[in-house]
Amino acid sequence: MADSRTATKPKPQRRTGVREAAAQATRDSILKSATKVFARYGYDGGSVEKISKAAKSYDRMIYYYFGSKEGLFIAVLEGIYKRMDDAEAAIALDASRPVEALTEVIRFVLGYYRKNPEFVTLLNTENLHKGRHISKSLRAREYSSRAVAIIAEILASGAAQGLFRKGLIARDIYLLIASTGYFYTSNRHTLTAFLGEPLESPEAITHWEDFVIETVLRTVRADEAQDNNNIPPHDEVKMTPIAHVRSRPPKGAQASLGAARREA
């Protein structure tokens, strides 16, 4: 005899994660749009209204996810640092071959600045504000310490093999590499006009990259230190005191000086 009782229908399961995925998508869209808006208009010109419009969202969603415009800008800065950090971590570096590894790091940094102009523009904006936003970040130091640690490992390997000088500070080499890439990229337009040379041409870019690689390797190589009598670049170079340097003034200045002495 068949069971006449009505079978209990299973309750429909909630699609767990759907709402979270939608929320993350909204947050990512706002962050992506904010990156473009801040890069174009700067922090002061990058209004909440412009960002929400670009993200096809609402102002209140920005405040919901990021708390404030400043909170959003800090998240943007953290995002660009994280993307560079992730890209650098993806490089296959072999620290046992320190010269090649350091060369790859240099090529990566210079290439990353060149291929990601928004990164440089946003850092320029934050520097105009004296770093007051990024200083509030809890993650920025994490990304920088990792980049310096990579160089430290390479320098240690090079020193152990007798290829690099001992006592090099990884932070100094990091700053040397970063500054040569950052300055060239951030000032490429004005320097092109000032120098009268197209600094964005493939030939100019290749030349600068080769020059930076040579400069950094000369700084760290042990044989370079020996050629320079083992004088580290940070040591003070003894120079003749200025008071002891006598230079001959121009002829006009000599005549004026003589007349002044006669009048005295």
Q: Is the pLDDT of residue 13 over 60?
A: no
Contact 33, 59 (CB under 8 A): no
- Looking at every residue in the chain, the average pLDDT score rounds to 84
DSSP 8-state assignment for residue 14: P
Q: State what percent of residues in the chain have pLDDT above 70.
A: 79
- Of the listed ranges 28-32, 64-68, 243-247, the least confidently predicted one is 243-247
* Amino acid in position 106: I
Diameter of the chain by CA atoms? 138
pLDDT at 246: 36
What span, in angstroms and rounded, lies between the C-alpha atoms of 70 and 88? Answer: 27
Q: State mean pLDDT over 167-171.
A: 96
The token pair that represents 82 in the structure block: 């994280």
Q: State mean pLDDT over 91-97.
A: 93
The token pair that represents 212 in the structure block: 């930076």
Q: Which residue in the block uniquely carries the two structure tokens 């404030």?
A: 68
Residue 78 Cα distances to 7, 86, 97, 98, 136, angstroms? 55, 12, 31, 29, 11
What span, in angstroms and rounded, lies between the C-alpha atoms of 113 and 28? Answer: 23
pLDDT at 9: 57
* Amino acid in position 61: M
pLDDT at 7: 52
Q: Is the pLDDT of residue 2 over 80?
A: no
Angle separating helix axes 140-160 and 170-186, nearest 10 degrees:
120
pLDDT at 60: 94
Q: State mean pLDDT over 25-50.
A: 95
Q: Is the pLDDT of residue 249 over 70?
A: no
Find the helix or strand (DSSP H, E) in which 4 lies: none
Compute CA 30 distance to the chain's CA centroid, rounded to the nearest angstrom. Answer: 23
pLDDT at 38: 96
Q: Is the pLDDT of residue 76 over 70?
A: yes
Q: State mean pLDDT over 99-123.
A: 95
Q: Is the pLDDT of residue 243 over 60?
A: no
What span, in angstroms and rounded, lies between the C-alpha atoms of 176 and 109? Answer: 11
Sign of the CA dihedral with 253 first, then 255, 257, and 260 last: negative
pLDDT at 223: 86
| Closest-CA residue to 188 (of 211, 163, 205, 206) | 205
Q: Is the pLDDT of residue 248 over 70?
A: no
Q: Which residue in the block uniquely carries the two structure tokens 């850092």?
A: 123
State the CB neighbour count (10 A cutoff) for residue 126: 22
Question: What's the pTM?
Answer: 0.75
Q: State mean pLDDT over 210-218.
A: 97
Q: State what percent of residues in the chain have pLDDT above 90.
A: 69
Tell me the three state secondary structure of residue 221: strand
Find the helix or strand (DSSP H, E) in which 177 lies: helix 170-186
pLDDT at 240: 36
What span, in angstroms and rounded, lies between the C-alpha atoms of 201 and 196? Answer: 12
